[in-house]
Amino acid sequence: MKTRIKICGLTREEDIDAVVAAGADAIGFVFYPPSPRYVTPQRAAELARRIPPFVDVVGLFVNESPAVVQAACAALPINILQFHGDEDVAYCRQFDRPYLRAARVRPGLDLVEFAGSFPGARGLLLDAFVEGYGGSGHVFDWTLIPPDLPGFLVLSGGLTAANVVEAIERVRPVAVDVSSGVEMSKGIKDHSKIAAFVAAVRKADESI
């Protein structure tokens, strides 16, 4: 099965073009103001005009007010919402839109129970547990992922072209999500790293 690829934290037109040209399946915009990759809904709407059909637009939020999420959904064509904070199931499903629920993986977190708490989620995104939310470049211990984890799994956390093949072979996620691993600086993507990451994922797909 083809592993889907999401490139997150886009802030520039030329980076959107590079991600599309490389063949990524989804582009993520960060609507979390403390993040160096933050964009306003208005800026994201400008960037989204460069995204062709059949490339998903993902909006990432962290403990945001419902009004802000709704405003972003009105400003641009967000296909999937991604919730990265402490949002509960009632919060996540109020927008009547497909969503991913992120789990910050650490010893002691029952991922099966966590996934079961969000039965309507399109998938569970697993990321490293660090101070702040996402884009840290830290890899978590993949052995903490239980083999009986229900639903679709999206793997994130410190992925690069150098480790994504092993990640896919070991975890077998339906999708991988990368941000810092394809950057030259926070919020500024490296086009050669994007191309190398996509090529590495396709190589992994051929081997499994």
DSSP string, 15-60: HHHHHHHHT-SEEEEE--TTSTTB--HHHHHHHHTTPPTTSEEEEE
Confidence band, pLDDT 50/70/90 cuts, at residue 17: very high
- The arithmetic mean of pLDDT across residues 18-41, rounded, is 97
Q: How far is Cα 44 from Cα 112, in angstroms, rounded to an integer?
A: 34
What is the CB-side half-sphere exposure of residue 102 using CA atoms within 13 A? Answer: 24
**pTM, two decimal places:** 0.95
Which distant-in-sequence residues (6+ apart) come within 8 Å of 82 by Cβ? 28, 58, 59, 60, 61, 99, 100, 102, 125
- Asked if the model's pLDDT at residue 80 lies above 70, the reply is yes
Q: Which residues are catalytic?
A: 8, 127
- Asked if the model's pLDDT at residue 135 lies above 60, the reply is no
Distances (CA, A) of 118 to 28, 90, 92, 100: 21, 9, 8, 9
Confidence band, pLDDT 50/70/90 cuts, at residue 63: very high
Confidence band, pLDDT 50/70/90 cuts, at residue 132: low
Strand 188-189 versus strand 183-185 pairing type: antiparallel
pLDDT for the residue numbered 136: 57
Q: Hey, what domains does the chain have and what are their CATH numbers?
A: 4-207 (3.20.20.70)
- Contact between residue 102 and residue 83 where contact means Cβ atoms under 8 Å apart: yes
pLDDT for the residue numbered 1: 83
- The arithmetic mean of pLDDT across residues 74-97, rounded, is 97
| Residue 121 tokens, joined | 């989620």
- Asked if the model's pLDDT at residue 22 lies above 70, the reply is yes
Q: How far is Cα 76 from Cα 44, in angstroms, rounded to an integer?
A: 7
Q: Tokens 């990368």 identify what position?
A: 178
> For residue range 150-169, what is the model confidence (pLDDT) as tens digits?
899 999 999 999 999 999 99
